[in-house]
Amino acid sequence: MDVRVDVDDELATTAESSVRDALAAAGVEPSEVWAAVGGGLTGRVGHVETALLRRLFGADAVTRVDVHDRIGDTAGASTAFQLAALLATARRTPEAHGRPAVITSVDRDGSVACAVVRLLGEARERGEHAHGEP
Task: State pTM to two decimals.
Answer: 0.82
Give the CA distances from residue 37 to residues 56, 104, 121, 123, 130, in Å, rounded to whole numbers and listed in that order. Answer: 12, 6, 19, 25, 25
Taking only the tens place, the pLDDT of each residue in 4-31 is 665 556 889 999 999 999 999 999 999 9
Taking only the tens place, the pLDDT of each residue in 67-95 is 876 676 666 678 888 999 999 999 999 99
Q: How far apart are CA 66 and CA 82, in angstroms?
A: 9
Give the CA distances from residue 54 to residues 8, 15, 58, 130, in Å, rounded to whole numbers and listed in that order. Answer: 24, 13, 4, 33
Q: How far apart are CA 25 and CA 19, in angstroms?
A: 10
DSSP, res 92 = T
Q: Tell whether the model's pLDDT for residue 127 goes beyond 70.
A: no
